[in-house]
Amino acid sequence: MQRRVLFDNKLLPYLLLAPQVAVTLVFFIWPAAQAVWQSVHLQDAFGLRSEFVWFENFERILTDPNYLDTLRITVVFSVAVTVLSMGTALLLAVLADSKIKGAGAYKTLLIWPYALAPAVAAVLWMFIFNPDIGLLGRGLNAMGIPWDYRLNGGQALTMVVLAASWKQVSYNFIFFLAGLQAIPRSVIEAASIDGAGPARRFWTITFPLLSPTTFFLLVVDLVYAFCETFGTIHALTHGGPGKATETLIFRVYLDGVVNNDLGGSSAQSVILMVIVIALTAIQFRFVERKVHYA
């Protein structure tokens, strides 16, 4: 028998939805509409006058080799952050779900990094890998391994990937652990009695049953890597050296705030929004087919 919630007051459901609708309108719809409007205008440096220029800003950006190189760096960065943060979180969640001594403290320590602001997390990594004052940075140079992320673009990109992934591991860990604890123990025990080893039990039972959680985290982590890693990059490398760690979201900031190119920055915001929406739609269209819902 299907149970339904009935509201005697017809106005009450709309009042309950109103705060969320207001938040969405103020913090997403209105800024997005403003970005679209500015992306087809050319404004002076002070924002006092604007001229309608159709798609000139988009044409200028999409034919800029530097922008295409930034897009390549963003794809590499986002894929690396997503794979590293999800893989590490899954491994830690499987370990935490097993019967180990001090599991409560272990789980609490793994959740703590999520409470840190991205800029604070970046500063912690800077203190570790700084070639002058960082423990590991000085250690690598002492061992004869030349390390200076301020001069080497590959090392800088590696460090921002590690810092951004570390910040997201805690979030993924919470969801993976909850998903593992929701799997019936009787199913795992039955497979064990049938002779399935730990690896076979994980890939044939545990991982397929975790697919809804994995799919959700895949969407969230890609959006995080594309749009929410500005603080980490700004605190660690400022997009450098050169443009080695300049992602799309960081370039939006540079062109809009530093270079006062409001039209070009808005056009980049619109392109970034379209990319994220397209990636999310592709995942729901193709990846969700392989998700097994209980």
Tokens of 43: 């404004």
Quick one: pLDDT at residue 1? Answer: 55
Asked if residue 151 belongs to a domain, the reply is yes
Q: Looking at the domain assignment, is residue 182 inside a domain?
A: yes
Is 250 part of any domain?
Answer: yes
Mean pLDDT of 70-91: 94
Selection from 289, 262, 279 nearest residue 48 by Cα? 262
Please determine, for residue 82, whether its predicted confidence score (pLDDT) is greater than 90.
yes
**Region of poorest pLDDT, from 84-93, 201-210, 262-271:** 201-210
The average confidence (pLDDT) of the chain is 86
Query: Is residue 29 domain-resident?
Result: no
Q: Model's pTM, two decimal places?
A: 0.85
The CATH code of the domain that includes 255 is 1.10.3720.10
Whole-angstrom CA distances from 23 to 17, 20, 32, 34, 266 are 10, 5, 13, 16, 22
Q: Distance between the two ends of the chain, CA-based, in angstroms?
A: 19
Q: For residue 195, what are the domain limits?
A: 52-290
- Is 254 inside any structural domain? yes
Q: How many domains is the chain built from? A: 1
Give the residue with greater pLDDT, 156 vs 112: 156
Instruction: Specify if 24 maps to a domain.
Output: no
Share of the chain above pLDDT 90, in %: 33
Q: pLDDT tens-digit profile of 214-230? A: 988 998 999 999 988 89
CB 35 within 8 Å of CB 256 = no
**Residue 106 belongs to a domain:** yes
CB-CB contact of 227 with 249 (8 Å): yes
Q: How far is CA 156 from CA 110, 271, 282, in A?
A: 25, 26, 31
